[in-house]
Structure 1
Amino acid sequence: MHNQPLNPIFHDDGAAPDALIDPPPVTRFVMLAIAFFAATFIVLGRMGWVQGRLQERYLDALNATTVEYEAIPARDGRILTESSVVLAADVDQYSVQMHYRWLQEPLDATWVSREVRRRLSRTERRDPALVEVTEADILSTRDEMWSAVAQVAAIPVTELKDRLRTVQGRVQRIADSVNRRRLQSTEDRIATNGDDGLLIRIASSIRAALTTPARRGQSDRIVVREEESFHEIVDDVPLEVAAVIRQQPHRFPGVRVVVGHRRTYPQGELSAHVVGARTPLMDEETADLKAATQSGSWVPRRGRFGVERTYEHQLKSVPGRRRIVRNRRMEVLEDEVEREPVGGRDVVLTLNSDLQRHAERLLDEALTDAPQQLLPVANSEESRPQPVPKGGTIVVMDAATGRLLVAASAPRFSLSLFTGSSTDDWAAANADRRHPFIHRVTSMALPPGSVIKPFTAAAAIEAKALDPDAMFACQGFLKSPDEHRCLIFRLYGSGHGDTTLTQALAQSCNVYFFDAAQRLGFSPLRAWFDRFGFGRTTGVDLPFEEAGNVPGSVVTEPANVRMDREALGLAIGQSSLTATPLQIVRSMAAIANGGWLVTPHVVSPDGTARTTRDIDDRPHDIARHRIPGLSGAVLDRIREGLAAVVQAPYGTGYKTVRLENVLIAGKSGTAETAPGKQDHAWFAGYFPADQPKYAFAVVLEHGGSGSQAAGVVARELVREMHRSGFCGESR
């Protein structure tokens, strides 16, 4: 140590050399050893802590799994008639799906390594040549599988490859987006640490070096679920294609056939408004459901209108649920069915498919949408050309039970619009200004015209304001020739002369009912209309039913001059009175069945559907109730008049509605509308007149004369029902 800078030769004070050496070598050695052992203790302590405390965390991270649920679809119930004509049903729809790793180009190196490990033993994997051959075999198998799929699906290989590239591009964008956000988060943390002090950055670097694994490039990417899932490449393949793929799995590795269900309507336009449509839920409707099921492959459906909507809970199926467990690389570890799917129940309609089809054809002819074959020219010298209606409806109901045999509405649409139609098809349907999507049976509320007169007569007789046998002198108008007139006065300048109730109904004498309403008053007349069910819905098991309108209020409206004048219009089905065809049929059935107001229905009460459903939170059944205050004697007089409408030579329906082999009772109605528009044509009634079984109504919107336009359609309807055996024996 004498060659150190502290040598006495450089000092003037003459101090001893040993006194200038500080510290001694032993002390420095001890200090160095202490520092070394302290650092070693810290490192070993940290390693022990990492091994003892962090090992469990690392293992948990490596063994982390994710659980997802996939819905298993089931068939919804069918809609069919009692004669087993299927109107709506689910059919199997097969789609071909391929695992992403088998469609990826180029193949993922990590996945290929896993496939090699699966095919070769540990010893075999030590042979590089054998590994290379196995990798080539995997690639060859993939290419052969592509060709086999294209062959059985009858699509060109080039088109199949385009579809695969489309799927890969979509999945790649998802994966890139996830990893880009992860990288951005890491860079943000580094940038944030750069703002810290030097000591903090050094400590962070030491901690990261001791606790963070080294980067491994591409294998460090986050694997998204789509990269370890199946993707649809061919949809709606025939059963034969699905069978080939399922029976020859060795030719189609990484390929599976998934069975779905597609709603179909085999009869097209037949009863389209009644049957309704079931369509997939929109994105906003499925947001919560997708979050609950974690499944994007199954989209539930919902009934939009018709029976599909009303009996939604009956028809809809309950999907099953599959539980899928994946590891951190999104590989499937477990796949089990937790709940089996349950199919929906069938709904049987009361409609007669043959009669419904015939009624729809009659309406098509009336609207000139079909050749005129079934409607002969009316045998009447007074017949004149009628306007082409904007729309129309025919309703036939069992008068005793409310079973609807016919509920035809025109114009119509094909239910195929909801099962895969083109934009042009929808554009053509929406361009029809006659509004084909409106169900005119339940949603068309029009002035009923003279078909309301039987109910006016019932109210006046029961209130002692009318004697059905007393003669009334009709001069063609009530008080003034300029208002409250009969049609005969407007056409020929004369009245009906002395008239009884039967003759007034048969000839549709307005003045007779003006006089009755004048003596009866508004409030009693309106109260009786309420008893017959006007101004409220019938309770039919179809959605979106209109209630119609009965003006005024029985309780709150005073009996003044204005309301007395309102009663005159109300008595002949004008003023602001509106009713639906179904309401008129229901009221006509009450006259035919002895005064019982029944609930119309289109679903058979013999099945389970009608006993398990609710309408407007009310238990629904085929209930009926007797109209209070309506006597049998009054009904007999009204039936007499309705029969005379068709059977008596002076009746408005004698030349246009009468048939030789079946008695028809009914009432024509020509309802005035806005100025410049054609009248609405009505004819409603029941048959056979002597033993009523069925009530009916024919309405032609802006169709002209009730007896000449609607009456002819009614005649052909009854003719077909008689030919089909609905009217019993001929007269």
Structure 2
Amino acid sequence: MIKKRIIIILTMIQLGILALAGRLVQLQLVSTESFHGVNLIEASVAQRTEQLVIDNGRGMFVARNGEPLTYEYIPTLVLFPFLKKMDWPIDQIATIVSIRKETIKRQLETAKGPIILHDGQQPIQLQPWQMERINDLCIPGVIAVHKQYELKQKYAQHVIGLLGENEKLLKERYGDRKLSQKTKIGVSGLQSSFDEFLIPDGETKLLYHVDARGEPLFGMDVKYTEQANPFYPITVQTTIDRTLQQRVEQIVAQHGMQKGAVVLLDVKTNDVLALASAPAIDERDPYKDGAMENKALLPQVPGSVFKVVVAAAALEHGLIHGQTFNCDQKINGEPEEKKRGMRTFEDSFAISCNRTFGELGKQLIAIDKNVFETYAQKLGLLPRVGWEGDVYHFPSFRPLHEEKKGNIWGDERDKHIPLAVAQTSIGQKDVRVSPLAVANMMATIARGGEAKQVRIVQKMMYKDGTTFFAFDEKRLTMDSLRKETVDELQQLLQLVVTHPEGTGRSFQSLPYAVAGKSGTAQTGKNDVVNKWFAGYFPADRPKYALVVVQLETTSSAAVTNSIFADIVHATYELEQKGRYQE
């Protein structure tokens, strides 16, 4: 009996030892990188290492002139906590950085890890000569470095996009590639589009190993580690003008536009200089009120802005000469509240007479059922307008991957229904185009009829500044309007502002002459409308194409024209100061 008990006890002990051994094998060999969601190797190294990350290793975005849009690098002084237990030339350092040594001591006393020396609330910013003198002293634990900081001022958040930790998405994108589960990846905007190029290959950091008491394990040597590949991380140079972007965002906020978009293009290059979407993103709750949506890239009801397409088609089909239109009537023949009498085509465009374009639309559809699609594409309005092309192993790469296609017809049978045709002709019914596409249409006309793809990125650069890939200017279509048609469209767009009854006459006093087209689109919600103004300036030598749309507002509350006018003023002022360079 006793022997049997001994055998049972020994067996249980052996089983316990085997279970413990199995657990150790699992921890040490099998699940080292994923044990209940924890990377044991990382955790073990972190436990015995004091470190300061200098650069997270992810590529960055810069503006067209090189100013940072995501991170900046500040020359700072790093101090390691073991300094408080040793005698070191603190007086020399205090003299070089022009700060009292008591301040340095006080910050070291409370340090539990490597610290950046601060003066008040801000890190001390060193001059090149200060960095050189400090590092020449070769004091263990005292190192001058350029440390990466996230910009406090956010620029073009909807364009640049956000980063986030998403283990599932990380695995979907990168499979078995060895990346920390805490690696941040792009979840929207350019951060998402360029994620493959920007994903970090490793951090740049200062570190030293410690024992259980926090004492240096291998002497006072501080190691500097960085990515093994000297060409990375990549920098993405956008087309954004940082100063213009900041002013546009300030103007949108000042006028309290709750939902809408602004797009400002360089007419010559078709580059995005500024792009804003409202509401702004609150990083604490980015999905609140649909703020993550970039309204500039999503199709919206354009209203009378679409009349530009009908006008172009009517001009090229010779329907204008000799016709006058009864602007006392609506498109369905009912009386208009505001009597405007019989009008010419030119007058009708300036005052935005719906009856005129309803009639022209029906005449055009009778000639060609696809006439609207044809001319919308010639004008650079459809289907998508953002840059697209092959980038290494990415076929049809689209930096603005969130841009959606526009649309004119919801049902092909509507082309045979006169009222549906008339409604479509004035940008209602199922017509949907993005503010980016409307800006592209205005730039196409301003440029003389050449439709280009819209660029948001100029190039990607290696760490040493050499070009990794250039996003060259590209035609959107080779099918263009006649020069005579473009000339007449330019005159019509100017007439909207110069005509005494023109819908854009409030812009006559601006420092630049403006050409453009207004739009008030019914959204199907009582008096709720989309309020547009799309145009370019200066009208006689176009440099900028600008679109402002306020979504889901009322005509009386709309701030569209005020925002448009203020952006024109801001652009003029910056040019006078020589800020914006062609």
TM-score by length of 2: 0.68
- The counterpart of 2:501, out of the listed 650, 661, 666, is 650
Give the aligned partner of residue 272 of structure 1.
157
Map of 1:386-397 to 2, 5 A cutoff? 389-397=257-265
Map of 1:613-632 to 2, 5 A cutoff? 621-625=472-476, 628=479, 630-632=481-483
- The counterpart of 1:354, out of the listed 235, 238, 243, is 243
3-state DSSP of counterpart to 1:635: helix
Q: CA deviation at 1:585?
A: 0.4
Give the aligned partner of residue 441 of structure 1.
296
- The counterpart of 2:185, out of the listed 283, 298, 302, is 302
1:666-688 Cα deviation digits (max 9, x unpaired)? 01100001233511110001111
Give the aligned partner of residue 409 of structure 1.
277
Distance 1:603 1:451, change over 3 A: same
Larger radius of gyration between Structure 1 and Structure 2: 1
CA distance in 2, matches of 1:281, 1:676: 41
Report the identity percentage: 23
1:206-238 Cα deviation digits (max 9, x unpaired)? xxxxxxxxxxxxxxxxxxxxxxxxxxxx56732
Give the aligned partner of residue 542 of structure 1.
400
Distance 1:236 1:631, change over 3 A: farther
Letter aligned with residue 511 of structure 2? N
Give the aligned partner of residue 511 of structure 1.
355
Distance 1:397 1:235, change over 3 A: farther
Map of 1:549-564 to 2, 5 A cutoff? 549-552=407-410, 557=412, 561-562=416-417, 564=418
Preserved CA contact (<8 Å) 2:407 2:432: yes
Distance 1:622 1:469, change over 3 A: farther
Letter aligned with residue 264 of structure 1? E
CA distance in 1, matches of 2:556, 2:202: 52
Distance 1:627 1:450, change over 3 A: farther
CA distance in 2, matches of 1:97, 1:395: 50
Whether 1:577 and 2:428 are equivalent positions in the alignment is no
Report which of the two has the higher share of helix. 1
Map of 1:273-672 to 2, 5 A cutoff? 273-282=158-167, 285=170, 293=178, 299-319=182-202, 340-342=228-230, 343-367=232-256, 389-413=257-281, 417=283, 425-426=284-285, 430=287, 432-433=288-289, 435-443=290-298, 445-464=299-318, 466-468=319-321, 470-481=323-334, 489-490=336-337, 492=338, 494=339, 496-521=340-365, 522-540=369-387, 541-552=399-410, 557=412, 561-562=416-417, 564-604=418-458, 621-625=472-476, 628=479, 630-654=481-505, 656-672=506-522
Preserved CA contact (<8 Å) 1:502 1:640: no
Which of 349-358 and 590-599 deviates more?
349-358
Whether 1:673 and 2:523 are equivalent positions in the alignment is yes
Distance 1:287 1:351, change over 3 A: closer
Between Structure 1 and Structure 2, how many residues are aligned?
460
CA distance in 2, matches of 1:235, 1:549: 58
Q: CA deviation at 1:338?
A: 12
CA distance in 2, matches of 1:727, 1:575: 45
Give the aligned partner of residue 395 of structure 2.
none
CA distance in 2, matches of 1:272, 1:525: 34
Q: CA deviation at 1:468?
A: 4.9
Letter aligned with residue 85 of structure 1? E
1:518-552 Cα deviation digits (max 9, x unpaired)? 11114322332243344522124323112132215
CA distance in 2, matches of 1:354, 1:365: 16
Q: CA deviation at 1:640?
A: 1.1
Q: CA deviation at 1:707?
A: 11
Q: CA deviation at 1:408?
A: 1.4
CA distance in 2, matches of 1:578, 1:288: 32
CA distance in 2, matches of 1:560, 1:260: 63
Map of 1:145-294 to 2, 5 A cutoff? 152=108, 154=110, 237-238=115-116, 247-248=139-140, 264-268=150-154, 270-282=155-167, 285=170, 293=178
CA distance in 1, matches of 2:247, 2:312: 34
CA distance in 2, matches of 1:338, 1:573: 56
Please provide the CA RMSD for this pair. 4.4
3-state DSSP of counterpart to 1:458: helix
Give the aligned partner of residue 129 of structure 2.
none
Distance 1:640 1:607, change over 3 A: farther
Distance 1:91 1:97, change over 3 A: farther
Q: CA deviation at 1:711?
A: 1.9
Q: CA deviation at 1:440?
A: 1.5
Preserved CA contact (<8 Å) 2:164 2:187: yes
Distance 1:605 1:558, change over 3 A: same
Question: Which residues of structure 1 form unaligned runs of 5+?
Answer: 1-63, 99-148, 156-233, 250-255, 323-330, 368-388, 418-424, 483-488, 614-618
1:82-101 Cα deviation digits (max 9, x unpaired)? 34432112769989899xxx
Q: CA deviation at 1:439?
A: 1.4
Preserved CA contact (<8 Å) 2:237 2:458: yes
Distance 1:593 1:236, change over 3 A: farther
Distance 1:318 1:96, change over 3 A: same
CA distance in 2, matches of 1:610, 1:441: 32
Distance 1:676 1:292, change over 3 A: closer
Question: Which residues of structure 2 form unaligned runs of 5+?
Answer: 1-27, 34-40, 46-52, 83-104, 124-133, 206-216, 388-398
3-state DSSP of counterpart to 1:682: strand
CA distance in 2, matches of 1:83, 1:572: 41
Distance 1:264 1:663, change over 3 A: same
Letter aligned with residue 340 of structure 1? A
Distance 1:236 1:645, change over 3 A: farther
Q: CA deviation at 1:345?
A: 2.2
Give the aligned partner of residue 49 of structure 2.
none
CA distance in 1, matches of 2:565, 2:265: 16
Q: CA deviation at 1:363?
A: 1.2
- The counterpart of 1:723, out of the listed 566, 573, 582, is 573
1:617-638 Cα deviation digits (max 9, x unpaired)? xx96320255525111111111
Q: CA deviation at 1:364?
A: 1.3
Distance 1:612 1:440, change over 3 A: farther
Preserved CA contact (<8 Å) 2:56 2:204: no
Distance 1:538 1:629, change over 3 A: closer
Preserved CA contact (<8 Å) 2:331 2:423: no
3-state DSSP of counterpart to 2:523: coil
TM-score by length of 1: 0.55
CA distance in 2, matches of 1:290, 1:527: 43
